[in-house]
């Protein structure tokens, strides 16, 4: 299959010189195959143009690729909506990398059809850095006999939320604290819908007789929260910072 869209030599050279991956798929063809990949895509994945074109992008997926992310990508393609995500992909040689993927539907008037343009960026080093930051999270710190603080640093991911649920609930059961402050001011990234797990943690602690107090709620957290969840969050005591929360509790 030929690169049917890039006929202008100047445009092709410009796309090939980009330090990111650029790909185009044609959903009017069976299985929405690639019809163009630039040199950045080839260098990033290790697959040649001949090996990639004509195939669906799923050949970059592997055993550790999130099925949830794949489903969200599939849904955005179905609805022809722009989409941005991070997905764990695999190169031809089997090594994995984190791919910051931007998908944009583009309608071509002359053909009366829509193509999908994909922009890929290898963010593996950035993700590794964030993981190291996350590991620096301070353990739960007792303030007094009735109150403790857990500062969160880095990212709030599915895995991190599950660990948070287990760690905090186990600590509450052992300490018998009246309240635990979870400080969110150190978060620099929040995965979509993970705020819902904070509400679940609030309910679990409430049944144990321990109050969950949130501090450092950032605009980032609000942006990643649905309107319904924001309404539910209003039932949790929230303060600008840990100092204010401790003062109010005492």
The model's pLDDT over 70-117, given as tens digits with 9 standing for 90+, comes to: 999 999 999 999 999 999 999 999 999 999 999 999 999 989 999 999
Average pLDDT over residues 129-151: 76
Same domain, residue pair 48 and 109: yes
Q: Is 2 a domain residue? A: no
pLDDT of residue 224: 58
What's 169's domain CATH number?
Answer: 3.30.750.24
Domain boundary among 93, 122, 151: 122
Q: In residues, how long is the chain?
A: 250
Alpha carbon dihedral 220, 223, 227, 230, in 10-degree steps, equals 0
pLDDT at 9 over 80: no
Of 74, 95, 122, the position where a domain reaches its end is 122
Give residue 183's domain range: 130-249
Name the E strands within 13-80.
21-25, 34-37
Q: Are residues 78 and 143 in the same domain?
A: no
Residue 4 lies in a domain: no
> Given strand 238-239, what is the order of strands in its sheet?
141-142, 147-156, 179-190, 211-215, 238-239
Mean pLDDT, all residues of the chain: 85
In a domain, 245, yes or no: yes
Give the strand pairing for 179-190 and 147-156: parallel
134 and 51 co-located in one domain: no
Question: In the chain, how many domains are there?
Answer: 2
183: nearest Cα among 150, 226, 154: 150
* pLDDT tops 60 at residue 154: yes
Q: How many CB atoms are closer than 10 A to CB 239? A: 19
Residues 183 and 225 in one domain: yes
Q: Do residues 141 and 245 both lie within one domain?
A: yes
Asked if residue 233 lies in contact with residue 201, where contact means CB atoms within 8 angstroms, the answer is no
Last residue of a domain, one of 122, 151, 180: 122
pTM of this structure? 0.56
Distance CA 87, CA 217 (A): 26
Give the integer Cα–Cα distance in Å for 164 and 158: 10
Residues 241 and 181 in one domain: yes
The answer to whether residue 3 is domain-embedded is: no
pLDDT score of 156 more than 90? no
């Amino acid at each position: 299959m030929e690169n049917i869209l890039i006929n202008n030599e100047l445009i092709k050279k410009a796309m090939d010189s980009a330090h990111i991956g650029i790909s185009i798929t044609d959903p009017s063809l069976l299985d929405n195959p690639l019809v163009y990949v630039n040199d950045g895509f080839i260098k990033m994945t290790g697959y040649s143009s001949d090996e990639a074109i004509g195939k669906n992008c799923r050949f970059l997926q592997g055993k550790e690729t999130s099925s949830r992310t794949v489903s969200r990508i599939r849904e955005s393609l179905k609805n022809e909506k722009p989409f941005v995500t991070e997905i764990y992909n695999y190169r031809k040689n089997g090594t994995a990398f984190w791919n910051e993927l931007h998908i944009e539907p583009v309608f071509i008037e002359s053909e009366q059809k829509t193509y999908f343009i994909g922009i890929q960026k290898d963010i593996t080093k950035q993700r590794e850095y964030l993981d190291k930051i996350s590991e620096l999270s301070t353990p739960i710190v007792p303030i007094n006999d009735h109150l403790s603080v857990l500062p969160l640093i880095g990212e709030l991911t599915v895995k991190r939320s599950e660990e948070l649920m287990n760690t905090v609930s186990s600590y509450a059961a052992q300490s018998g604290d009246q309240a635990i402050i979870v400080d969110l001011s150190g978060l620099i990234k929040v995965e979509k819908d993970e705020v819902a797990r904070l509400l679940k943690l609030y309910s679990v602690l409430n049944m144990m007789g321990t109050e969950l107090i949130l501090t450092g709620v950032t605009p980032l957290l609000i942006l990643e929260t649905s309107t319904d969840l924001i309404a539910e969050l209003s039932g949790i005591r929230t303060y600008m910072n840990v100092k204010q929360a401790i003062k109010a509790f005492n």
